[in-house]
Amino acid sequence: MKSPSEIAPVRSLLLKHPREAWLGRENIRDQWNALGYTEEPDFAKAITEYDRFVDILRGIVTDVHFLPADARTGLDSIYVRDAACVAGRGVILCRMGKPLRGEEPGAVGDFCAKAGWPVIGEIREPGTLEGGDVAWLNEKTAAVGHGYRTNAEGIRQFRDLVAGEGCEVIEVPLPHWDGPGDVLHLMSMLSPVDEGKILVYSRLLPVSFRKRLLETGFALLEVPDEEYATMATNVLAVAPGKCVALTGNPRTAEVLNKAGIEVRTYEGTEISRKGAGGPTCLTRPILRST
């Protein structure tokens, strides 16, 4: 494996198509409300959206893998980032803070074994850790959000797993915001987009963490208040200065463009907005070149 990064060019990517995650309309109807979706997704429209999303990714990433259908998982398994993290030596299987997603890491672990991807460890009870709470600021520094989905014990275990690589883990306390039923990961409020540049919604960042980012030399690109709720902060860097983002956030796109960031957008009403999972949530980069 390579040194971890959120911005280096993606070489291998793990996805899960809604055909395999959602299976069909009846399955969606049975699960969407309990999982906290804002509305029932339209299966046919979701497939169209996702295929176009994949087309964008395939134009950039040559090695794309898809998780198969698995009876252990539900609708949320489309958001593959949360079930696993990637460190320098390999994959770390998470332990979900959302109980209804509890079997997803095992399904990812089985796939890793078949693909020959090294798994260096897993988060164990009573620890919880979700991939959306882990953001590598550089190859030796990971920021991990401590909130309703990731707890202190999960962060401790993650820190132990990467300590042998000489990595520092910064614990970032997350706000209550809309409560434990809401999806508020660390990457709901920041996304690294280029060398030394992070897209952020500063109103949700702890002062000490924001100051540290600035002191470390990061330029903070600010998401406008009116676009935070439409997941403008959730942006996937596929290479330094090249990102994939949801449509519908023009002011944020302008902020990125002015900072020299190239942005490609996709329509995600069904696959992103209704389940509160943007392009970072939909993807688990396994290998990036540095």
Q: How far is CA 279 from CA 110, 169, 170, 232, in A?
A: 24, 24, 24, 10
C-alpha dist (Å) from residue 179 to 34, 129, 145, 169: 16, 17, 15, 25
Cis peptide leading into residue 173 (ω within 30°): no
* Rounded Cα distance, 14 and 79, in Å: 10
Domains of the chain listed by start with CATH number: 10-288 (3.75.10.10)
Question: What is the phi-psi region of residue 91: left when phi exceeds 0, alpha when psi lies from -120 to 50, beta otherwise?
Answer: beta
pLDDT (tens digit, 0 to 9) for every residue of the chain, 290 residues total? 677 999 999 999 999 999 999 999 999 999 999 999 999 999 999 999 999 999 999 999 999 999 999 999 999 999 999 999 999 999 999 999 999 999 999 999 999 999 999 999 999 999 999 999 999 999 999 999 999 999 999 999 999 999 999 999 999 999 998 888 777 999 999 999 999 999 999 999 999 999 999 999 999 999 999 999 999 999 999 999 999 999 999 999 999 999 999 999 999 999 999 999 999 999 999 999 96
Q: Which residue type, as a one-letter code, is found at position 1? A: M
Q: List helix spans (H) across 128-283.
A: 152-163, 207-216, 225-228, 250-258
Query: With contact defined as beta carbons under 8 Å apart, do 133 and 150 qualify?
Result: yes
